[in-house]
Amino acid sequence: MKQFTTRQIVLLGMLMEVSITIVHAPTQAADYAHQHAYWTCAIAAIVICLPIWAMLKLKRRFPDQDLLQAIVSSHPVLGRMLLVVYIILFLIIFARDLRIITDLVGIVLLPLTPIVVISLIMLLTLTFMAKGGISTIVNMAEIFVPLSVLTMLTMPLVFGRNMDFSALRPILHPDVNGVIKGSWRMLGYMADIMLLPFVISGKSYGPRSAWLGHLTGTAFMIIMVLLEELVIGVPILSRLFYPSYELARQLQLTDFLDRFDLFVAALTVPTLLTKIGVDLYVTSLAVKRMFAHTRGSLMVWPVGLLGYVCSFMLFSNIVQIYDFSREWTMVMIIFFVFMPFVLWLLLRPKPEEYNEYHKPSGEKQDSTSQQDSTSQQESQQASRTEQANL
């Protein structure tokens, strides 16, 4: 398992927590919390802190394994039964995200192209990305995530007088019930950051990288929701399917660059594809961990095609994904909030078993030295050949 730097894990954390969440989750938050929609991001982030803490405790026991390996190695039978449930969960996440980006591209960039063809083109890109392994995905995140962040953070300088701060009033009188309902919808998307422990080893997924990625992702979400409230307005924001795209449409640098939103979309779509590539990768990796003698690279195409079919079977349009957020949050709480604590209590690394034979001391020393040398050679070959690829 390849070890990644803190910067790379932070970028992955921001990618998983922000990219899909920012597409239409702020609309649901504004629909319930109104001018206090930015509070929903903070409340959802506080809830996510609990499973991150449990995952960090669990990762200390398995420094050289990802969470999928730890589940199978600790409990071979029950662990594989649990992996079946997680495979279904990962597949639904992949189908949901693929449907979201397909509708977004179909509306913004390719309105005359059939939606089935757009989704198939996306699938081809994602499969080649997932077959390249987690290293390819991390390298893409290092390119597109900083560019997207810089583009979004420079928006306040461009908007200037278009921001109406009276949209946040009254500031000190929030609708508590509405904020809780908005946080419930926001949590179902921001909890995607919990996919990282399933594909990252314990050495790479450290406290500094995990907390910093979660903190920066939450701060970025709060800034974006605030911008959408100040520029678009809460009444209009609560009725949009793609508020982030509508925010980009408000950018007009000059008369010549009145379609500056196309430049923002050119950076946003690869970022979304990178996030969905992580979904496809973790699903294929779960299939590989479940069947020890299966090549994960061969599972990418079948899993991708299955997710492609499920994206149309489960969600016929974007409205169904919008309405499904209420029930989906409960599923995410069970498997990404409560289940990490259960795994933290149950998973233990197996003690190494040493076979002692009644042999002379010289033969025993020779046999143990040969076993140590062969095990070292096998571990070196595994680390050279695997490199976190399927």
Q: Name the pTM for this structure.
A: 0.88
Nearest alpha-carbon partner for 190 in 18, 75, 5, 36: 18
**Alpha carbons 68 and 190: distance in angstroms, whole number:** 21
Q: What is the largest CA-CA distance in the chain?
A: 89
User: What pLDDT sits at residue 385?
Assistant: 42
Q: How many CA atoms lie within 13 A of 65 on its CB side?
A: 17
CA torsion through residues 59, 63, 66, 69, sign: negative
Q: What is the pLDDT along the chain (390 residues), one digit of tens a residue?
A: 567 899 999 999 999 999 999 998 999 999 999 999 999 999 999 999 999 999 999 999 998 889 999 999 899 999 999 999 999 999 999 999 999 999 999 988 888 999 999 999 999 999 999 998 899 999 999 999 999 888 877 887 877 777 888 888 888 888 899 999 999 999 999 999 999 999 998 888 999 999 999 999 999 999 999 999 999 999 999 888 889 888 888 876 655 556 667 778 788 899 999 999 999 999 999 999 988 777 767 889 999 999 999 999 999 888 899 889 889 999 999 999 999 999 999 988 877 633 433 444 444 444 444 444 444 544 444 444 444 457
pLDDT, tens digit, 9 for 90 and up, residues 200-216: 988 889 999 999 999 99
Q: Where are the alpha helices (DSSP H) in 113-253?
A: 115-131, 134-153, 155-159, 176-190, 196-199, 207-231, 234-237, 243-249
What DSSP character marks residue 351?
Answer: P
Contacts (Cβ under 8 Å, ≥6 apart) of 189: 20, 21, 25, 325
Can you read off the two tokens belonging to residue 295?
């090549």
**Based on the number of CB atoms within 10 Å of its own CB, is 48 exposed (0-12), middle (13-18) or buried (19 or more)?**
buried
User: What pLDDT sits at residue 384?
Assistant: 43
CB 192 within 8 A of CB 41: no
CA 190 to each of CA 13, 90, 332, 385: distance values in angstroms, whole numbers, following the listed order = 10, 15, 10, 34
User: What pLDDT sits at residue 382?
Assistant: 47
User: What pLDDT sits at residue 296?
Assistant: 66
CA 144 to each of CA 98, 100, 245, 386: distance values in angstroms, whole numbers, following the listed order = 18, 19, 17, 26
